[in-house]
Copies of this chain bind each other. A is one copy, B any other.
Amino acid sequence: MVYVDSKCKFYMNLITKLRNIQRKNNSLLCIGLDTDVSKIPASLKHHSNPQLEFNRRIIEATTDLVCAYKLNLAFYESAGEKYYETIQKTLGYIPGKIITIADGKRGDIGNTAEHYAKIIFDDWKFDAATVNPYMGKDSIEPFIKSEDRCAFILALTSNPGSKDFQYLNVEGKPLYEHVVESAKKWNAKNNIGLVVGATHPAELKKIRSLVPEMPLLIPGIGAQQGEMEETVRSGCDRNGELALINISRGIIYASQADDFNKRAREAALKYKEQINNFRG
C-alpha cells in the first residue's frame, strides 16, 4: 500500500513504510490495544473517556519501541457510544510513521464491505485492516482496491478453533494454504499481508516460504502461549523484517496500578529485545 504522511504528503508502499519503521525503531513489536474498559486502572475512572486516556498513556510510553499498533475493534464497539470517537482520537496519538491496523476481521458482500472499508480507511485513516477470507475475493476487494489501503487476510489463526476448518485437507493441502495462494494471486497492488498465529510455528515457517516478501501479522505470543524463538525465526523475511509480532494483554495489562504505562513500557522493551535476540 501507499500512504499519505499527514505532514509531507509523501506516498509510500506499505512494505517500505513497514521496513522504515522497523529499522528506525529497531523493532518488530506490534502492540495490540485490546483496551477492555473493565481492566482500566481505577485512577483513570474519573476521566471523561477512560479507554481513550488509557490508550493515550500506553502510546505515549511506547512509540519508540514499536513498528505498529493494532486496535481490536470489538473492545471499542462493546464500550458503547464513544466507539467512533475513541478510535478516531486514539489514532491521533499515534505518530504517522507507525503502522496502524484496524483489527475487525471484516468480511461481507462487496456492497457492504465498501462500508466497512470506508470508515476504516477514509474516516479513521488506518493503514491496514484484518479481513476474513471465507466470503472470497469480492469481500476483500474494497480493502485492497487502491494503494492507500491494505488488508491482512486471516490465513491460520492462533485460537483453538483454527483446527476446525483451516486445516481441512483440500486436494492434498490444508485450506489455509489455499488462502495463502489466493492472497498471493490477489496481491497485484502489493498491499496484502497475512495473519498467522504464533501458536503454529511449523506452519508459520511453511507460510513464510510461500510468501517470502509479504508482511505477516503474528498474534498469539504472551497470553496465548506462542513460543517466541521459533516464531521470530520462522516469521521474518530473509532480512529479519516484515513480521509484526503482536502482543496485547502481556503489555497493556502488565500492571493495573497507576504506573501501568511505565510497566507497559518495561514489558514492551523486554518483548522488543527478546524478539531482536532471535532476528538473526
Give residues in A with beta carbon < 8 Å to B: 34, 36, 72, 74-75, 77-78, 80-81, 83-85, 105-113, 115-116, 118-119, 123, 132-140, 154, 157-166, 168-171, 175, 178-179, 182, 224
Contact = CB atoms under 8 A, between A and B. Distances in A.
9 A-B pairs closest in CB distance: A136-B161, A136-B164, A74-B115, A78-B115, A109-B159, A138-B161, A134-B134, A78-B119, A168-B170
A158 B109 CA distance: 8
A133 B134 contact: yes
Contacts of A72: 108, 112
B170 A154 contact: no
A163 B136 contact: yes
Contacts of A164: 133, 136-137, 182
Contacts of A179: 165
Contacts of A169: 170-171
Given A74-B108, A77-B119, A109-B157, A175 B170 contact: yes
A168 B175 contact: yes
Given A133-B134, A159-B110, A74 B116 contact: yes
Number of copies: 2
Contacts of A163: 136
Given A74-B115, A165-B182, 20 more contacts: A36-B115, A74-B116, A75-B112, A77-B119, A78-B116, A78-B119, A78-B123, A80-B123, A81-B85, A107-B132, A109-B161, A109-B224, A132-B135, A133-B165, A134-B157, A135-B157, A136-B166, A138-B160, A168-B175, A168-B178
B165 A77 contact: no
Nearest to A179: B165
Contacts of A133: 134, 164-165
Contact of A75 (B80, B115, B224): B115
B159 A178 contact: no
Nearest to A80: B84
Contact of A134 (B75, B118, B138, B165): B165
Nearest to A140: B161
Contacts of A113: 74
Contacts of A105: 106-108, 132, 135
A68 B132 CA distance: 26
Nearest to A116: B74
Given A83-B84, A158-B109, A169-B170, A77 B136 contact: no
Contacts of A80: 84, 119, 123
